[in-house]
Amino acid sequence: MRRAERLFQIVQLIRGRRLSTARFLAERLEVSERTVYRDVADLLAQGVPIEGEAGVGYRMRAGFDLPPLMFTTNEARALVAAVRLAQPRLDTALAAQAESALSKILAVLPAAARAAAESLAVYALAVGPDAATRERLQALREATEARRVVRLRYLDLKGRVSERRVRPLGCFYWSEVWTLAAWCEVREGFRNFRVDRIERLDTLEETFRDEPGRTLADLFRQVEGEMSERDSSTDA
């Protein structure tokens, strides 16, 4: 562990406990108590408001925190890989924001780490939703975040068209297609809609609140229960 990382960890460990002894810190960081004493002294010299003394313990005055550490080269590579894989599949606004965030991160990296991250040999083909699907995906994401009811016209796989009022709960990517998980007010139950088969959608002014049995957590529990039952019947 680099010394800068160790100093950061000392601050976080002290801040997260009522009282931290040098022995506790040394065991957690796998260094000697003498090293802890020296690091704490350096932190105090830098103005970090640590209270206490050697042999008694340390605590942090409330309201203090350190800024995040610089990303390591491997962490930067992971971020580049994540953005490259995700960008072609996100809606236009979110893809642009991901690119902007990555550019800011790369801009503050040391030159060697930036070069290593940018030369990462991990790529994704620019194959994703068409422009219309991306537009709908963005509208659904924003409606989900704002807790707004959505009215949509949907064409199912059998060619049947229906009008729905739904409470959008989340968008999910399944290798090739995006789906919307929602509580359908027409069917009074959870439903999944392929975003590319939504012919029209209108985000209404009407908002909704979480209600027991109609939340994303409830949907996850329902799916887990169905999977457990399926596994049990298979074992039998």
19-23 mean pLDDT: 90
The model's confidence at residue 236, banded by pLDDT at 50, 70 and 90, is low
137-155 mean pLDDT: 96
The model's confidence at residue 149, banded by pLDDT at 50, 70 and 90, is very high
Q: Are residues 140 and 231 in the same domain?
A: yes
Q: Are residues 231 and 135 in the same domain?
A: yes
Q: Are residues 217 and 179 in the same domain?
A: yes
Say what the pLDDT of residue 199 is.
Answer: 96
Q: Is 18 exposed, middle or buried (0-12, 13-18, 19+ CB in 10 A)?
A: exposed
Q: Are residues 108 and 153 in the same domain?
A: no
Q: What percent of the chain has pLDDT over 70?
A: 94
127-154 mean pLDDT: 94
Question: Partners of 180 in the beta sheet?
Answer: 171, 193
Q: Are residues 153 and 218 in the same domain?
A: yes
Say what the pLDDT of residue 52 is.
Answer: 83
Residue with tokens 């503050």: 108
What CATH number does the domain containing 152 carry? 2.30.30.520
Question: Partners of 171 in the beta sheet?
Answer: 180
Say what the pLDDT of residue 43 is.
Answer: 87
Number of domains in the chain: 3
Q: Are residues 194 and 103 in the same domain?
A: no
Q: Are residues 82 and 23 in the same domain?
A: no
Residue 77 resides in a domain: yes
Question: Partners of 202 in the beta sheet?
Answer: 151
Question: Partners of 51 in the beta sheet?
Answer: 59
Residue 219 resides in a domain: yes
Q: What percent of the chain has pLDDT over 90?
A: 52
pLDDT digits (tens, 9 = 90+) for 35-72: 999 999 988 888 888 888 767 789 888 766 555 556 77
Long-range contacts, 210-214 (Cβ 8 Å, 24+): 214/167, 214/183
Q: Does 138 have pLDDT greater than 70?
A: yes
Say what the pLDDT of residue 71 is.
Answer: 75
Q: Are residues 138 and 55 in the same domain?
A: no
Say what the pLDDT of residue 94 is.
Answer: 93
Mean of the per-residue pLDDT values for the chain? 88
Residue with tokens 């009215």: 151
Q: Please give the distance of CA 233 from its chain centroid, rounded to a whole number.
A: 35
Q: Are residues 104 and 156 in the same domain?
A: no
End-of-domain residue from the set 60, 89, 107:
60
Q: Are residues 141 and 111 in the same domain?
A: no
Residue 66 resides in a domain: no
Range of the domain at 8: 3-60
What CATH number does the domain containing 37 carry? 1.10.10.10
Cα separation of 140 and 190, whole Å? 16
Say what the pLDDT of residue 4 is.
Answer: 75
pLDDT digits (tens, 9 = 90+) for 103-133: 988 887 878 888 988 899 988 887 888 999 9
Residue 154 resides in a domain: yes
Q: Are 211 and 150 spatial neighbours (Cβ–Cβ below 8 Å)?
A: no
Cα separation of 87 and 145, whole Å? 20
Q: Are residues 86 and 152 in the same domain?
A: no
